[in-house]
Amino acid sequence: MKKSLKLSFITSAIFLMSVTITNAQTGGVNFSMQVQEIQIQKNDEANPCITAREYELIENRCAANIILLNINKRQKRQLSTTSLNWPLKTAPGFTDCSYYFIGAYVDQNSASGVFKDWNCGTRSYDGHGGTDIGIWPFPFNKVDSNSVKVIAAAAGTIIDKHDGEFDRNCVGVGSGLKANYLIIQHADGSLALYWHMKKNSITSKTIGQTVVVGEQIGVVASSGSSSGPHLHFEVWAGSTASTRIDPYYGSCNLLNASSWWTSQKPASEPAILKASVHITDYIPKPCPKSDTTNESTFYALPFNGPGMPTDYAKFFVFLRDVSSGTSVDMKILNPNGTTYNSWNYTFTGTFNVCYAGWSKHLPIVPGVCTFQATYNGVTCSQNFTISTNTGISGYYNLTDVVIYPNPATDNLIIETHQKAKIEILNTAGQIIKAIHTAEKQIRIDISDLSCGVYLIKVKTDKGIAVKEFIKE
Ligand SMILES: [Zn+2]
């Protein structure tokens, strides 16, 4: 029996989500597959990242602060010396293969009602002044866990900042909402604008203080006129919006004659951002909710995920810049590295971001198994533990529980953000250590453990998380 269901929702002119779900049932065993295009909610000309009113306001504030701070830098628009590094980095313990996609570049077509990006494509919207870097998958979960930090792309002086605003806005937010933002002036007089950041995440440094390149200045979120979690990164050669440049250089860049990036990324970066194993379907939630990921790296056999046949799990890949006709190859490896199962999938559509998931039988040999997926020549892997004798059951994935480093040598850091009971178990399920904590973060000395694989069980009011770590 084969069922195919295609649904299209147009909830507004600016939010389009197309969902294709295919279920196939074979021989009484339920295999189901999900392939979904996710057209992430994006800002557009009706909902610009920075409104005209905001531009006016920040131009005035910056001009006043530059005078106040007696910053009298000569503006060298043709001879800029600023070189920009990538303005985002991930938090310690973040193990996905990547985390971002480009939602929109600077609009290079000054005419109204049309738009063009630096590469002569249409990844922009009319009047867009910056580069929108979205985070994916699980964007609001990443906001919750402070997974993606905004860092200074270049050193400079803080000439304007604002914090304290609500940070979970969605598309159609309307004007009048303020963003949490930071504006840095570089040595050559150019400015970098960092927009939409998380409430109370902006650096505590004050206007007039300096930041070094790579210094954390905030966390990606969705404050101000924002359609979802992303960084709007905008660069001005001088101190007004009219001096705007596009850090990317390409044949359709009419604003500046060369790239401002230290290392410019290509216009399209096809990649797997995450390969992961889930106890059942991943449930995406509409903005501004966090997704129910149902992800786990630990499976005690016999295993019964909600709605799943015994000893099955769901294997997902999350990708960006996918083009029609390209294929992704999946493998499940046994603890000894041999292949337990393999399959592939060819995409039939072109997606900015998308995901695909399959129900597959779990390997039956206890130990550390690997789910690996290869796309565009790059392999993304996720280890998961199969156990047959721990007796641990009734666990849930708590995405806000973060454990790092992994592998660890002397110390393991666990961020629970709430009261928790933490147990370290060996793969036979014996408790080695037990700790109660009320701290947001706890450091556990593991120097006395022998090398190998351990399980860490974190019990909070929200549920139980079981994750594996390796002691080296
Ligand atoms: Zn933007």
74-85: b (≥16 Cβ within 10 Å) or e:
ebeeeebebebb
Rounded to the nearest 5 degrees, what angle is found at the Cα of 33, between the Cα atoms of 31 and 38?
Answer: 165
Tell me which residue has tokens 């910053």: 71
Inform me whether the pLDDT recorded for 258 exceeds 80: yes
Look up the CATH superfamily of 52-245: Glucose Permease (Domain IIA) (2.70.70.10)
Instruction: Measure the CA–CA gap between 132 and 231, rounded to whole angstroms.
Output: 6
pLDDT at 76 over 60: no
Ligand 1: centre distance to CA 130 (Å): 5
Q: Which amino acid is at 284?
A: P
Give, as residue ranges, everything with CB less than 5 Å from ion ligand 1.
49, 130, 132, 232
Q: Which CATH architecture has domain 397-472?
A: Sandwich (2.60)
Nearest partner of 301 among 124, 429, 176, 154, judged by Cα: 429
User: How far is ligand 1, taken at its centre, from the CA of residue 221, in Å?
Assistant: 13
Q: What angle do CA 48, 164, 202 make, to 5 degrees?
A: 85
Q: How far is the CA of 47 from the centre of ligand 1 (A)?
A: 10
As a residue count, the chain comes to 472
Cα(232) to centroid(ligand 1), Å: 4
pLDDT digits (tens, 9 = 90+) for 198-238: 999 999 999 999 999 999 999 999 999 999 999 999 999 99
d(CA 116, CA 128): 10
Phi, psi (deg, nearest 5) at residue 436: -105, 135
Ligand 1 centroid from CA 414, angstroms: 34
Task: Decide which of 268 and 27 is more confident.
Answer: 268
- Token digits for 204? 């505590």
Q: Identify the band that residue 155 occupies on the pLDDT scale cut at 50, 70 and 90.
A: very high
Q: Give the Å distance between the CA of 52 and the centre of ligand 1.
A: 13
Q: Would you say 42 and 227 are in contact if contact means Cβ atoms under 8 Å apart?
A: yes
Higher local confidence (pLDDT), 84 or 279? 84
Boundaries of every domain in the chain: 52-245, 397-472
In this prediction, residue 237 carries a pLDDT of 94
The DSSP bridge pattern shows strands 411-415 and 181-185 to be unpaired
Let me know: does 121 contact 233? Beta carbons within 8 Å.
no
The pTM score is 0.82
Gap between the Cα atoms of 114 and 76, Å rounded: 30
Residue 470, C-beta contacts closer than 8 angstroms, at least 6 positions apart: 368, 406, 407, 408, 452, 453, 454
Q: How far is the CA of 127 from the centre of ligand 1 (A)?
A: 10
The pLDDT tens digits of the residues spanning 402-445 come to: 788 878 889 998 887 778 889 898 877 788 899 998 888 889 99
pLDDT interval class at 454 (50, 70, 90): confident
